[in-house]
Amino acid sequence: MQTAEIQRRWLSFFGDRGHTVVPSASLVSDDPTLLFTVAGMVPFIPYLTDLVPAPYPRATSVQKCIRTNDIEEVGKTPRHGTFFQMNGNFSFGDYFKEQAIAYAWELLTSSEADGGLGFQEKDLWVTVYKDDDEAVRFWKQTAGLPDERIQRLGEDSNYWSTGQPGPAGPCSEIFFDRGPQYGADGGPATDDDRYVEIWNLVFMQYLIDDVRSKTDFRIVSELPKKNIDTGMGMERVAFLKQGVENMYEIDQVRPVLDMASELSGRRYGADHDDDVRMRVIADHIRSSLMLMSDGVAPSNEGRGYILRRLLRRSIRAMRLLGVDAPTFDALFAASRDAMKAQYPEVGHDYDRISRLALGEEETFLRTLASGTTILDTAVEKTKSTGSAQIPGDVAFQLHDTFGFPIELTLEMAEEAGLSVDRDAFGRLMSEQRARAKADAKSKKSARAGLSVYGDFRAKGETVFTGYELLETETTVLGLIVDGHPVQSAGPGQIAEVIVAETALYPESGGQDADQGRIVGNGFDLEVLDVQRPVKGLVSHTVQVTTGEVAVGDSATTVVDPLYRHSAAQAHSATHVIHAALRQVLGPQAHQSGSYNKAGYMRLDFGWNQALSPATRTEIEDIANRAVRDNLEVTTRILSLDEAKAQGAMALFGEKYGDRVRMVDIGGPWSRELCAGTHVGRSSEIGLINVIGESSVGSTNRRIESLVGLDAFADLAAERAIVSQLTSTLKTPREQLPDRIAELVANLKAAERRIAQYEASALATRVPALVQSAHTLGSVRAVIEDLGRLNSADDLRGLVTSVRERLGAEAAVVALAATVNDKPAVIVATNDAARSTGVKAGPLAKGAAAVLGGGGGGRDDLAQGGGSDASAIGAALESVASQLRG
């Protein structure tokens, strides 16, 4: 049974039983505490936790998911995958435990001819929470399961919660027995690969608090409205129904594995280590394909870093299979062909995805060369010291800075006959994980904070009137101070205000929040920020300037009209620049992010090389001609399918409902889905002045522009500078570039002559310094303060010249100077001095300590510095004292 057929049967089964079929949400989660959608229930969390009223009593979905916490297990077990699909059915206060169990058993055990999945009842086991007698009773009644195939387990296995105060409850898991050839008898409690978990039913029935750990909390009460959240693992069911050994061999994954086998010339099934590598490649390529189809681009942070790690692990695995040449072109094409039937978007957007992947592969292959140089240096240094172990900090640097997986460093070290200090590497990795965990914990606490909005959201959605109005009369529904609901707020206080209607635009879609005020009888509130903390609810952060505002008061939201107009100019300019980019560069230059506020806009787009000055000028020219042409700006509310059919572009990762707002500028010339505010005609934008274009990753660029009066002010400032230059240089404007180039060339020539004169002058000081040599301890020493010098390089040159002139007799040179108002000291020793035990590093370090700084270096040459130039004499005396000793 193909994966797409399992999906069809699932959605058909639950759709026929009154469940609303909900399309998969993006892999990019809109939950602020999550990078990705990690489970099928994530898009439904606001409904399950009653933060947002559920729009339907029951739902079903096949949700795309990404998890990377078990990435090291990928390829080694039959069921660990980075990208996976979770089939879910959900009830929001509708049916509960008995019906959920009945649905699961019916779908699993009904024959394929009757639309079921055709599992044999004798092969299925279930686990329940140890105290859930009710679930045991329903399993016996519904499925007729004997006691020995119903196993009771504890909180760590069969109890669900978010890890925060709120809803929780027991769960029941369904397992498939693969047979004695796969492991020991004894059921799921053995935790053996023989028993594959295929379905988890969560019975959300309690309210908990005082949460000390996953298994340590207090049950407060039963929930007034009980929910069902279930998840069936698509890949696990697929590999069981397709009669293959693991999820990497199912129809959606195996083609990539086979391509890796073909490219490497290694046969799958011939070698365990090679098999694991091919499975890693198959999983990671598919996962990367799906992430990029949802708008994630490789980068050094957040989601982009995870994607980059997956891509680089794939390259490493191909390298370990003996392939050093680029392979992504073939591997991604194989994954596209395997996935596009179920996810057509990967085919439609493949040009962009392929460009991202190939660009990242090319970059990392270059990075491998750079990292290899660093590793080679470390190998050489390690061998020179007589050690057989590369330091852990080198391995960590390669991992953290260059993206080298530790396995690659180990392999390359082994080729050089060395090992790696894994303990030190492990400590550094643990420290990094601890920092990440602390960051994740702080983000997790943000979810707990969202619960304060639940009661307000239950009163309905905030109505946004700002498209038509700049002022709206409304009612204060709630006030929040320091995260807690209050009844009133007085002068000087910062508070969040929830109202029924608002004309103030909340930050979203790349557009900054409106500025304005909220006023009422006896109070005036300055609006500091406007946000959507939960879907459908707008919160205004305000400072009470006069009076006191209370829940229930009548109020008027007032938008600052000048700020709104400037923000609308910038947002419309963003669309215009995007259209101009696509006209010049082609449709692959797709927007990947934006930000705009009054007078300014920036737009990130997929591209892997800098734009030439001529290209930038052309884009700016097209944009301003669109402004000049006074194109009509129109908005329409359509279904998402209608908008896409008309060619509307959607921003990757953005969440869209069934009804969307489509913004046209000049008809189809610029047609995008957008909830932002816009001008009425393009001429109202005023002026677009492109001020910058830069890289934001190997496959993304950023273009920045000033808009309207801000653009004019910037050009006026440039005009003033040009006017001043023409006056000062007595040169016409059109000749300025040549005149400035001439002056720069003359300046460089003068600097070279001055440097030559200074070098000659310094050289004349060498004989006198040599003559000053005197015996200290076992060496001849030159110790002098040279006063002020232009650079440390000059000081170093003098030190080495004097050392050479002192001959073969044991000698030390310690010279100090003030360089850029900072003291510096450099110490040099010759071979004879070092043979007596005199080393430059300790001498420089001791002198630098006197100067209030630090220093050190090699045995033959070292330097130090500090902050106290008045201590130079004492610092040099410390060198002399060490030599006497």
Of 645, 638, 641, the C-alpha closest to 660 is: 638
**Span 148-174, mean pLDDT?**
88
CB atoms within 10 A of CB 644: 16
Domain 459-559 coded CATH 1.10.10.60: no
* Secondary structure of residue 144 in the 3-state scheme: coil
Q: How many whole angstroms separate alpha carbon 358 and alpha carbon 698?
A: 11
Locus of tokens 């679930």 = 135
Q: How many whole angstroms separate alpha carbon 837 and alpha carbon 479?
A: 75
Q: pLDDT band at residue 436, thresholds of 50, 70 and 90?
A: low
Q: Domain 564-716 - what CATH class?
A: alpha beta
Q: How many whole angstroms separate alpha carbon 806 and alpha carbon 802?
A: 6
Least confident of 270-274, 383-387, 539-543: 383-387
Locus of tokens 């096949």 = 62
| Binding site feature residues | 571, 575, 674, 678
Residue 440 has pLDDT above 50, yes or no: no
Higher local confidence (pLDDT), 302 or 350: 350
Pairing of strands 471-481, 484-486: antiparallel
Q: How many whole angstroms separate alpha carbon 278 and alpha carbon 608?
A: 29
Domain residue spans of the chain: 3-249, 254-439, 459-559, 564-716, 767-884
**Span 145-149, mean pLDDT?**
90
Pairing of strands 20-21, 58-66: parallel
Least confident of 31-45, 148-162, 340-354, 595-609: 31-45
Q: How many whole angstroms separate alpha carbon 705 and alpha carbon 720?
A: 20
Res 435: pLDDT:
67
Cα separations (Å) of 827 from 40, 797, 846, 859?
Answer: 66, 11, 11, 9
Pairing of strands 779-789, 811-819: parallel
What is the CATH number that goes with domain 767-884? Answer: 3.10.310.40
Residue 446 has pLDDT above 60, yes or no: no
Q: How many whole angstroms separate alpha carbon 629 and alpha carbon 627?
A: 5
| 8-state DSSP, 870 | G
Please tell me if the domain spanning 459-559 has the same topology as the one spanning 564-716. Answer: no
Res 593: pLDDT:
86
Q: Residue 45 in contact with residue 451, Cβ under 8 Å?
A: no
Res 210: pLDDT:
84
Residue 62 has pLDDT above 90, yes or no: yes
Residue 863's DSSP bridge partners are 826, 856
Residue 597's DSSP bridge partners are 600
Q: Residue 678 in contact with residue 653, Cβ under 8 Å?
A: no
Burial group, residue 433, by CB count within 10 angstroms (0-12, 13-18, 19+) = exposed
> Residue 141 contacts by C-beta under 8 Å, 6 or more apart in sequence?
98
Q: What is the pLDDT of residues 396-426, one digit of tens each?
A: 877 776 666 676 788 778 878 888 888 888 8
Average pLDDT, the chain: 89
| 8-state DSSP, 508 | B
Cα separations (Å) of 482 from 209, 456, 534, 543?
Answer: 21, 16, 18, 13
Q: What is the pLDDT of residues 316-338, one digit of tens each?
A: 889 889 898 999 999 999 999 99
**Span 739-763, mean pLDDT?**
89
Q: pLDDT band at residue 175, thresholds of 50, 70 and 90?
A: very high
DSSP secondary structure letters along 387-426: -SEE-HHHHHHHHHHH---HHHHHHHHHHTT-EE-HHHHH
Res 649: pLDDT:
79
Q: What are the residue ranges of helices labelled H in 223-295?
A: 234-241, 254-264, 272-293
Least confident of 81-95, 514-528, 641-655: 641-655
Q: Domain 3-249 - what CATH class?
A: alpha beta
Q: What is the pLDDT of residues 200-256, one digit of tens each?
A: 999 999 888 888 877 788 888 888 889 999 999 999 999 999 999 889 999 999 999
Residue 369 has pLDDT above 80, yes or no: no
| Binding site feature residues for Zn(2+) | 571, 575, 674, 678
* Secondary structure of residue 806 in the 3-state scheme: coil
Tally of residues, the chain: 885
pTM above 0.75, yes or no: no
